[in-house]
A and B are shown apart, each in its own frame.
Chain A
Amino acid sequence: AQSVTQLDSQVPVFEEAPVELRCNYSSSVSVYLFWYVQYPNQGLQLLLKYLSGSTLVKGINGFEAEFNKSQTSFHLRKPSVHISDTAEYFCAVSSTNTGGFKTIFGAGTRLFVKA
């Protein structure tokens, strides 16, 4: 069965420090990978996506992620975070299998940026 694991439920970090939010998935078929962000009292919005091609993808607000097929990972990184990056981050995996097309979300990682 397809699953997504976000290894850290909370990540506190100081402003201007680098951050990595980890995401691992399990799937026996080809996948499409996404990171979404949910700011307090706002809806989900797309940060970045991997559909095919280069395994290093860049998204909005200076975020980037690398698809590692052998390790089935899609970790999100930012070299220098801002207070405004405080939010909930969700990794999502889409694929087609016997149950049809499905998108599975991880449980989320709460990034808390401290001054």
Chain B
Amino acid sequence: DAGVTQSPTHLIKTRGQQVTLRCSPISGHKSVSWYQQVLGQGPQFIFQYYEKEERGRGNFPDRFSARQFPNYSSELNVNALLLGDSALYLCASSPGAYNEQFFGPGTRLTVL
């Protein structure tokens, strides 16, 4: 079975630009969560979506937004990129809202 997939693998953007990251969950999983992981730190929670509705939001500015589609895939959008947005962005899926999460390999975003 395919695991969680994320695209692109790597991305380089400049300050002020906008970026869209994509995630496909494991088949049958209805929940997708997004995390930001800065080198040397634990993942920081950004959003959780379940059944296409936002169920949780972390302490990130409004420049960060996300959505979940009818096929349960998800997109994370970040507007007006800052240097500090450079990080590994992880997507995780789970069968329901309160189960363990299965992580994708991440998208490495570099903001210059």
Contacts and interface: CB of A to CB of B under 8 A. Distances in A.
Contacts of B98: 32, 51, 94, 101
B87 interface: no
A101 B56 contact: yes
Given A43-B105, A99-B57, A100-B55, A105 B45 contact: yes
Interface stretch (B22-30, B36-44, B76-84): B36-44
A44 B90 contact: yes
A114 interface: no
Given A43-B105, A100-B48, A102-B58, A49 B100 contact: yes
| Contact-residue bracket for chain B | 20 to 34
A61 interface: no
Interface in A52-68: none
Nearest to A102: B56
B97 interface: yes
A87 interface: no
A98 B55 CA distance: 11
Interface residues of A, number: 25
Contact of B103 (A44, A99, A101, A104): A44
A108 B105 CA distance: 18
A106 B43 CA distance: 8
A112 B105 CA distance: 23
A25 interface: no
Nearest to A6: B42
Interface in A9-41: 32, 34, 36
B74 interface: no
Interface of B: 33, 35, 41-45, 48, 50, 54-58, 90, 92, 97-106
Given A43-B104, A44-B92, A44-B103, 5 more contacts: A34-B101, A43-B106, A49-B100, A101-B50, A107-B42
6 contacts: A44-B92, A49-B100, A100-B56, A100-B57, A101-B55, A105-B44
